[in-house]
Amino acid sequence: MEIKKVGVVGCGFMGAGIVQVCAQSGYEVMVVDISEETLNKGIATMEYYLNRDVEKGRMSRHDRDLTRARIKGSVVLEDLHDRDLVIEAVPEDSGLKKKVFARLDRICPQHTILCSNTSCLSVTELARVTGRPDRVIGTHFLSPVPRSKLLEIVRADTTDEETLATVKEFGRSLGKEILVAKDTPGFVFNYLLLALIGAAIRLLENGVASAEDIDRSWTLGMGHPIGPLALADFNGLDVGYMVACAMYDRSKDPHLAPSAILKEMVDCGRLGRKTGEGFYKYKDEK
Ligand SMILES: NC(=O)c1ccc[n+]([C@@H]2O[C@H](COP(=O)([O-])OP(=O)(O)OC[C@H]3O[C@@H](n4cnc5c(N)ncnc54)[C@H](O)[C@@H]3O)[C@@H](O)[C@H]2O)c1
């Protein structure tokens, strides 16, 4: 099936990046958010990144203008009635995502493929609230969406071969490398990431080494640009805790159980870089 018109639901951190990448790749994009304020904020952020690409010589002015012209915004979900593929990027809340999928199912034509950008929720459960479970799939983009090389495609238990093939082709057309995962807690990327960060926190909790040395084992030993504890701070400890809880709820896998120290830090507002303190202190942040 040929994809021409793309819809995106949610113009936040991830949605704005997805809109940008789709429009840059030649798709006509309609993005929907709940209010003019949140919609305009997302579009303004995306325009900032497009302009920065022009300033840094990564994109011509002409291509920026063409990209921008392909994007339309709305606060009415019904405006997605003519889309070939819709990507949901609303907050990680199962009830909210199910409501959005049930509404999209009523609004969109039968051929439309419905995708979720969920980090760890069951795509199969989302598929089951629709009348087209064969055409529902996970498209887990990683941040920052325009720079990340990977797209993790999550095949729900109900996704058919044609939908998988179409979405793989769509992902490649966005310049991404494709990884296909089964619909399991955290899929591949977050399962690995949370296991690594969880192990680093346990080492710290058990007093095996300092935060700096635990991170150095990864940066110097494995050649990674950032260690697991610094990465957890960067992503936000509240986000990590929420994803760990959701993965543990789904799997009951003790390796994925969020640690007590992480819960304590979240409860007292030590959320990482964004609050100026997490596993490290950040002078320049709040
Ligand atoms: N932040 C990350 O690094 C990251 C990485 C990969 C995947 N994800 C996943 O992507 C999804 C979105 O995360 P985010 O970080 O962009 O969240 P965000 O909070 O930045 O953006 C969510 C947007 O959805 C809008 N929204 C809320 N309810 C809506 C509705 N009913 N209809 C339309 N819009 C609605 C909000 O106004 C907001 O603009 C989540 O499922 C998250 O788990 C996030």
**Does the pLDDT value for residue 232 go beyond 60?**
yes
The per-residue pLDDT for range 187-206, each reduced to its tens digit, is 999 999 999 999 999 999 99
46 lines ligand 1 (CB under 6 A): no
- Is the pTM here over 0.85, yes or no? yes
Average the pLDDT over each of 40-54, 122-136, 249-263 and give the range with the smallest value: 249-263
Average the pLDDT over each of 7-11, 66-70, 160-164, 250-254 and give the range with the smallest value: 250-254
**Does the pLDDT value for residue 251 go beyond 90?**
no
90 lines ligand 1 (CB under 6 A): yes
pLDDT at 213: 98
- Who wins on pLDDT, 235 or 96? 96
The per-residue pLDDT for range 92-114, each reduced to its tens digit, is 999 999 999 999 999 999 999 99
pLDDT at 1: 84
Point out the ligand 1 atom lying closest to the alpha carbon of residue 12.
Answer: 21
Domain ranges of the chain: 5-182, 189-275
Pocket-testing residue among 11, 14, 153, 271, ligand 1, by greatest number of atoms within 8 A of Cβ: 14
The per-residue pLDDT for range 110-160, each reduced to its tens digit, is 999 999 999 999 999 999 999 999 999 999 999 899 999 999 999 999 999
Point out the ligand 1 atom lying closest to the alpha carbon of residue 235.
Answer: 3
Query: Would you call 140 a catalytic residue per the annotation?
Result: yes
The one catalytic residue among 117, 122, 190, 235: 190
Centre of ligand 1 to C-alpha 16, Å, is 9
Concatenated DSSP letters for the chain? ----EEEEE--SHHHHHHHHHHHHTT-EEEEE-SSHHHHHHHHHHHHHHHHHHHHTTSS-HHHHHHHHHTEEEES-GGGGTT-SEEEE---S-HHHHHHHHHHHHHHS-TT-EEEE--SSS-HHHHHHTSS-GGGEEEEEE-SSTTT--EEEEEE-TT--HHHHHHHHHHHHHTT-EEEEEES-TTTTHHHHHHHHHHHHHHHHHTTSS-HHHHHHHHHHHH--SS-HHHHHHHH-HHHHHHHHHHHHHHH--GGGPPPHHHHHHHHTT--BGGGTBSSSB-SS--
Same-fold call for 5-182 versus 189-275: no
Point out the ligand 1 atom lying closest to the alpha carbon of residue 15.
Answer: 16
**Does the pLDDT value for residue 285 go beyond 60?**
no
143 lines ligand 1 (CB under 6 A): yes
Closest-CA residue, ligand 1 atom 13, reads 91
CATH code that applies to domain 5-182: 3.40.50.720
The per-residue pLDDT for range 53-62, each reduced to its tens digit, is 999 999 999 9
Classify domain 189-275 at the CATH class level: mainly alpha
The one catalytic residue among 119, 125, 235, 277: 119
117 lines ligand 1 (CB under 6 A): yes
